[in-house]
Structure 1
Amino acid sequence: MIASLYFLLIPLLGSIWIAQWTYMPLTLNVVWGGILFLIGWRHRQKHFTAVHKIILICFVLFSLILIYLNFKSFLGVDAGVALLTTCLFAKSLESKNTRDFLIIFNFGLFVSASLFLHSQSFLMLCMVLICLVFCFIGLYRIQTKNFKSEKTDQISLQHDIRHVLKLLMVAIPFFITLFIFFPRLPPLWHVPISANHAITGMSDQMSPGDIAQLSQSSALAFRVIGDLSQLPQPDHMYWRAMILDNYDGRVWTRSSHNQRPVDYHVPEIAGVKYQYLPATKDQPWIMSLESSISDDTAYQTYIDGSIKRKHLVQNNQPVTLYWLRFQKSIVDTNKQDLQQSLQINTGQEHKTQALAQQILKQSDADPARYVKNILDWYRQQDFIYTLSPEQLNGNRTDQFLFQTRNGFCEHYASSFVLLMRYAGIPARVVIGYQGGQLAPDAQSLEVRQLDAHAWAEVLIDDSWHRIDPTAAIAPARLEHGMQYYLQEDRRIWGSEQHLFWKQQNFHLIQSFRVWSDYLQYQWQSKVIGYNVDQQKSFFSKLGIRSVYSAIVIMLLSICGLVIVYGIYVAYKRRGQSSFIEYQISRFQRKMSPSMKKQKSETFKVWMLRLSAHANNKQPFTDVTKLYAKIHFLEQYSDKDYIKFKQLLKDCSFELNSVENTCHHK
């Protein structure tokens, strides 16, 4: 029994360890992995005793030190779950009897549920379900240990798994009914979220290589939900994150002027309504179409038109946005903004400044003609669009425009804005995403990290105009999207050394990414996002007008499920009982009244009484155990029915042999 419980303990601990691998520091993961290896080795060596106290104390103290060094506290989500996991591993080291395993599997249920504090994704759900199944199987084996012989214990693991899965299948309809109809109540408490939690995706600055690094990942960045036919065409879908207008010669950042919050009110004719759903809860910036606003008080709009979440949240929920498509821009232009958009470093980039003055002279100082001539100049040069550009040092723009001439969108946007500023035309860099692809159901748009993009905005005739210099170098990047462009143009991968691996890696994960992200979206929107509003909307479709009606339907549904399940069990047991009773009736048909089963006798007592009249008592013992297995444990198969019938024949043969012997005497 202990060996089989160890056999279940190892995958339980392994599943808990794997589920939080990305949420815990590497040192703590290594320590837990070492303990898991030690438990596995002890199981292989059949050492089913508690480890030495010194090892246990050292493990606990070392783990507590690591937790405190990494989280600076024993409180909070990550530190709390790490502490619970450490306690579970420590208890596993000192397990030596069924009582210890009873505590471990019960505590394992609690630790498994706490994993949802890290993430409520569909993948985490699968990991938690695996942990719960191992816990339930372990508890079931402990509770039924007295019904198993040594031989049965060795072969009953499959029966235990099947039985536990049956119980879970029975519970699922009740769970779904309660989930749908039980009134949605606000939480009793809120989970604390660390203020210094790592932010993924787009940052508030841009230096060469940042967006190129993002664009080598096919991970989902965000999803757009709504009437997609009302949104711009893919080559005009620019999802703005923020404006970068401050340049120090190396890095583009936001000026303090653009970080001032403003309040925009949704007009009566609000334009196109759509929803933005981030892939992770850690991304504070909202990627929106130009001239988009939100009426959600949890989000703040800034003077540059960027939108940011005010506070970190535990779950990412869709954000409702309004695209004012008939309004040119919601960003005001003032004197301070113009001065910032003309900032230059006169002591650097001499070749770039000379080029700007030359083309400006050819354009007769006309800003519109100057922009066109600069884009034509990009097209005429041998520029290459690549994810692996050469390293730039010193006067970066001069090197890029006149030497390397290979780069990503950030290189083109940065150099273009500087060319505008050197000509006295206000310009700035905008970062965000461009394009997107339809989801498998064609009801939403998926924008991935590889769609990360940078472009420029230029002030012409007192109005900001979007100019994308990348379109002059790689028009297919905008027309068909980055995913198509990565497949069609091999030069974008850069060096041929790892070309095959990169392309194969991209092709292999692309299809999996699409479907896994779609599944995650359905889980997030239909299950995690099933709040009070969605419940009311669902009830209205069913014609349910009040909470009391929903509760009545819920209770009736539960009663109906209980009745259906009861009928099924009764029908199933009737079939089993009729077979067993029929075989017993045949067995005692020719017996004398004194030998037949009495009403006050159990089957076990009856077999004991009959075995007293037989020389070989083994068939009576075997049929008694099989009867208990079929009737009480429900661990049986069709072969057990055949075996039960045969054992009764063997018992009848033994009784007849004794009777014939007595006759002859």
Structure 2
Amino acid sequence: MSIIWQIPRNCLGWILVAQFALILPHIERLPWWVMAAYAVCASWRVMVYQGRWSLPPKMLKLVLAVLCFFGIYQTYGTMVGLEPTVALLFSGFCLKLLEVVEKRDVYVIIFLAYFVALTEFLFSQDFLVSAFIFLSILLISTALVALHQHSYDTLNLSSLKKATVIFSQALPLMAVLFIIFPRFDPLWKVPLPSHQAKTGISESMSPGDISNLSQSGELAFRVVFDGEIPARKDMYWRGLVLSEFDGRTWTQAQWKKDFLTESEKESLLGAMTNPLQYTVYQEATHQPWLFSLALAYADDKTIKAVNDFRLVRTDNIHSRIKYQVISDQEAMYGQTLSRIEKTLEVSLPRTGNERARKFAEMTYSRSTGDRDYIDKILTKFNRENYVYTLKPPLLGEDTIDEFLFDTRRGFCSHYASTFVFLMRAAGIPARVIAGYQGGEINPISDTVLVHQFDAHGWAEVWLDGDGWVRIDPTAAVAPDRIEYGLENAMAEEGSFLSDTPLSPLRYRNITWLNSVRLQMDAFGYYWSSWVLQYKGERQLQVLQSLLGEVTPWRVAALLMTVSSVVLLIVFGHLIKGRGEPKAAVYVKWYLRLCRQLEAAGYVRDASEGPIDFARRVDRSNPQWKKTLLSATRSFVRLSYEQVSQREQSLLVKQLRRDVLSIMYQLRVK
């Protein structure tokens, strides 16, 4: 198969570099065979360029495309969704290398690369990711520049330099457009079905579920308080209320999903006597629930309050969001409980965990009331040989019995589940709350960082006259977990983030490393707050500070002013560059040789060629014959022959050596 048009080697090199840079951020989420396909396609393209292989036939390309479709379907089980679509796009992007025949094919693969670069923003918009994608776009633009530079037969940095100059000229306009143009929801805001593992608290809780999250150092959400930050032991971030129990798993009750009316929300706000205001920056969970302190109120149309006193979003959270909350942890809530609600909150499976049921009945019969019974259960956890561990033994069918009387080793979910079971067995309304507890304070940004390992489960019991009251049985077993965090509680066991030994969170005791981590986190917060959240009221405030009054004429004047300044700088640079062209290095060395020979009495005539001049000098003084002819031969080849870049470098070095040798002989003479 004949190749009609060949990619310049410099351009091909930059295309391969740009493709590798684009694939790199997706390595963890793309199937391994996509990277293998890229390696095969890139190697095949190089072999074609070198003339060792021919382009693959149409049938082979068809087979490769079908295999990609089949591989994506086998990996994800469907062709619909965010991850399979991205994998399909990358597969086509790699296979396109085998179809480049004409110049327009190169334009297709380069323009496709620009689109592929944006796919990373579907998953993350952090500063480091954004900076890397900016670099990737620069590499793509370098390939586009190199497409029109046929003089370079190897990867050449001059293409990168020219692309960098173009980017630098565009930066001022980019900044102005970012400041003045209104924000629209981008592509990555569109709700797309995702096959990515859901991050964070799930909608059910079984023994060991939360302990799995405790091996993750990923950020769950960040909180900025308007005033003083509460004590760590007081920060219980409610997420889910689990009221139904099947003997092993706690789940949400269907009726709990009823939303409060606007008047009911306003009554909640009115019941707050000591309100606490804060802003939450929550990471993507692909779930609708939000996290807040007890008795929360949010004045946001996209946020609904549920009748179990938690907050949910009207749609799933596919990217980082920001919402403002008002809470009052001292306020009572749920003082009245209907018969239906009470029936639900005391219900248990008809059979199973018989030992725990009998223990609850016996203990309650010896108690003076609900509060005394609660104290007796917490005292049992505190004084008997119960162990708080991230590595609890597996439980069988009667999970409550086995944990309470046999293993006595568990995580927060074990203690919360068992405590609520014992409450219900005694007829006290109780439920499990799943969320996060505590958080790390970053002193640089004054924010609270809540990580996945802060996931926690606790209980709420309903007491007559007090409503729903938070009870955390884990505090009776491992108070260090509540006061100081999971890392401190697991210090002796050594299981904190044991599955991620390279996580910087494991080395917070190393001062300089922890300082770097906090600095990077603070920078990420400022990036999210001032760049990703630059819209609406904040954008209007910035424009008012720049323009005074925001009017179309003033905005147009700002844009025209910046554009004019940039164009004047570019125009001045172009005018400045219209002077005499700079001589090549080899020309400078040859002219230096001519000046040295002229000083020795050998003047080159204006019409005399380099070879004729060398012969004339040789006839007058043959002692320089070999060196002079060698220098002249190198100069002629560099000036009039088409040589490779490597050979050009060798000839320049040889010319320099010969000129320096003749100069030395002239001085000695």
| Distance verdict in 2 for CA 1:470–1:269, change over 3 Å | closer
Q: 1:140 is matched with which residue?
A: 145
Counterparts of 1:417 and 1:370 in 2: how far apart (Å)?
A: 12
Q: Which residue of 2 aligns with 1:16?
A: 22
| Contact 1:265 1:295 (C-alpha < 8 Å) held by counterparts | no
Partner deviation per Cα, 1:604-657 (whole Å, 9 max, x = no partner): xx999966974687577578699xxxxxxxxxxxx9xx99x989x99xx9xxxx
**Structure 2: distance between partners of 1:81 and 1:609:** 65
The AA in structure 2 aligned to 1:108 is A
Asked if structure 2 preserves the Cα contact closer than 8 Å seen for 1:241 and 1:285, the reply is yes
% identity of equivalent residues = 26
- Kept after mapping to 2: 8 A contact 1:238/1:290: yes
Closer/same/farther in 2, CA of residues 509 and 554 from structure 1, 3 Å limit: farther
- Aligned-pair Cα RMSD in Å: 4.4
Q: Which aligned pairs between 1:162-311 and structure 2 lie closer than 5 A? A: 162-184=161-183, 191=190, 193-194=192-193, 199-229=198-228, 231-263=229-261, 264-266=264-266, 267=269, 271-280=275-284, 282-311=286-315
1:420 maps to 2:426? no
Q: Secondary structure at the match of 1:261?
A: coil
Unaligned runs of 5+ in 1: 592-605, 627-638, 654-665
Shift of 1:545: 2.1
Match of 2:456 in 1: 453
Match of residue 386, structure 2, among 380, 383, 387: 383
CA drift of 1:195 comes to 7.7
Shift of 1:456: 0.9
**Residue type of the partner of 2:560?**
L
Matches within 5 A, 1:467-506: 467-486=471-490, 489-491=491-493, 493=495
Deviates more, 1:333-342 or 1:78-87: 78-87
**Aligned partner of 1:40 among 30, 39, 43:** 43
1:314 Cα shift? 5.2
State the 1:189 CA deviation.
11
* Cα-to-partner distance string for 1:343-393 (whole Å, 9 max, x where unaligned): 1346433332333234324322x2122222221121110111000101111
How far apart are 1:558 and its partner, in Å? 2.9
SS of the aligned residue for 2:292 comes to: coil
How many angstroms apart in 1 are the aligned matches of 2:89 and 2:19? 12
Q: Compute the displacement of 1:123 (Å).
A: 4.7
- 8 Å contact kept, 2:259–2:306: yes
Give the whole-Å Cα distance in 2 for the aligned partners of 1:136 and 1:509: 40
Residue matched to 1:561: 566
Question: Quick one: which amino acid aligns to residue 172 of structure 2?
Answer: P
* SS of equivalent to 2:458: strand
Counterparts of 2:196 and 2:591, CA distance in 1: 72
Deviation of residue 473 (structure 1)?
0.8
Partner Cα distance (1:502, 1:583) in 2: 59
Q: Deviations over 1:146-186 (max 9, x none)?
A: 4x4xxxx34x6233333333433333333222212334456
Deviation at 1:402, TM superposition (A): 1.5
Cα 1:332/1:310, change in 2 over 3 Å: farther
Q: Aligned with 1:493: secondary structure?
A: coil
Gap change, CA 1:374 and 1:107, over 3 Å in 2:
closer
Cα 1:304–1:609 shift into 2, 3 Å: farther
Cα distance, 1:56–1:331 mapped onto 2, change above 3 Å:
farther
Change (3 A) 1:243 1:189: closer
The amino acid across from 2:226 in the alignment is D
Letter in 2 for 1:435: G
Does the 8 Å contact 2:438/2:454 carry over to 1? yes
For residue 536 of structure 1, report the CA deviation from its aligned partner. Answer: 0.7
Contact 1:431/1:454 (<8 A) preserved: yes
Residue 660 (structure 1) aligns with: none
1:206–1:252 Cα contact (<8 Å) kept: yes
Letter in 2 for 1:317: I
CA distance in 1, matches of 2:434, 2:319: 25
C-alpha separation between the residues in 1 aligned to 2:640 and 2:195?
A: 62
**2:244 and 2:251 in contact (8 A); partners too:** yes
Q: CA deviation at 1:197?
A: 7.0
Aligned residue number for residue 406 of structure 1: 409
Q: Do the aligned partners of 1:195 and 1:312 also contact (CA within 8 Å) in 2?
A: no
CA distance in 1, matches of 2:470, 2:293: 12
In 2, are the aligned partners of 1:234 and 1:480 still within 8 Å (CA)? yes
Q: Are the aligned partners of 1:608 and 1:620 in contact in 2 as well (CA < 8 Å)?
A: no
Q: CA 1:646–1:6 in 2, change beyond 3 Å: closer, same or farther? A: closer
- Paired residue for 2:156? 157
Which residue matches 1:53? 58
Q: Could you say which residue in structure 1 is the equivalent of 2:626?
A: none
* Matching residue of 1:631: none
Q: Which moved more, 1:61-70 or 1:251-260?
A: 61-70
**Corresponding position of 1:340:** 344
8 Å CA contact retained: 2:223, 2:281: yes
Distance 1:275 1:417, change over 3 A: same
In the TM superposition, residue 89 of structure 1 has moved relative to its aligned partner by 1.9
The correspondence of residues 300-379 of structure 1 with structure 2, limited to 5 A, is: 300-312=304-316, 315-325=319-329, 327-329=331-333, 333-345=337-349, 347-364=351-368, 366-379=369-382
What displacement does 1:526 show?
Answer: 2.4
The alignment partner of 2:321 has SS state of coil
**Structure 1 residues 394 and 524 mapped into 2: Cα distance closer, same or farther (>3 Å)?**
same
Q: Is the 8 A contact 2:47 2:53 kept in 1?
A: no
Q: How does 1:26-37 map to 2 (within 5 A)?
A: 26=31, 29-37=32-40
Q: 1:138 to 1:614 in 2, by over 3 A?
A: farther
Contact 1:182 1:551 in 2 (8 A): no
Offset at residue 111 of structure 1 (A): 2.6
Q: Which residue of 2 aligns with 1:550?
A: 555
Q: Deviations over 1:496-541 (max 9, x none)?
A: xxx9776676755765875655444333332222223221122234
Report the alpha carbon displacement of residue 205 of structure 1 after superposing the two structures with TM: 1.1
Q: 1:3, 1:573 → 2: CA distance?
A: 29
Cα gap change, 1:493 to 1:185, in 2 (>3 Å): closer
Q: 1:71 to 1:504 in 2, by over 3 A?
A: closer
- Bigger CA drift: 189-198 or 120-129? 189-198
How many corresponding residue pairs?
Answer: 612
Q: What is the CA deviation profile of residues 527-579 of structure 1, one whole-angstrom value per residue up to 9, with x for unaligned ones?
A: 22222322112223445321432332232123223434555676688798799
Farther off after superposition, 256-265 or 34-43:
34-43
Q: Structure 1: how far apart are the matches of 2:238 and 2:188?
A: 35
In structure 2, the CA distance between the partners of 1:187 and 1:96, relative to structure 1 (3 Å rule), is closer
The answer as to whether partners of 1:206 and 1:251 remain within 8 angstroms in 2 is yes
Classify 1:574/1:443 alpha carbon distance in 2 versus 1 (closer, same or farther; 3 Å): farther
User: What is the deviation of 1:99?
Assistant: 5.9
- Distance in 2 (alpha carbons) for counterparts of 1:502 and 1:320: 33
Report deviation, 1:465: 1.0
The answer as to whether partners of 1:410 and 1:455 remain within 8 angstroms in 2 is yes
Distance 1:398 1:75 in 2: 44
**Separation in 1 of the partners of 2:473 and 2:248?**
19
Q: Which residue of 2 aligns with 1:104?
A: 109
Q: Matches of residues 542-621 of structure 1 in structure 2 within 5 Å?
A: 542=546, 544-548=548-552, 549-564=554-569, 566-567=571-572, 614=613
Indicate if the aligned counterparts of 1:17 and 1:33 stay in contact, CA closer than 8 A. Answer: no
8 Å CA contact 2:217, 2:503 repeated in 1: no
Give the aligned partner of residue 598 of structure 1.
none
- The equivalent position to 1:526 in structure 2, one of 511, 527, 530, is 530
Verify the 8 A CA contact 1:386 1:492 in the aligned structure 2.
Answer: no
Residue identity opposite 1:37 in structure 2: V
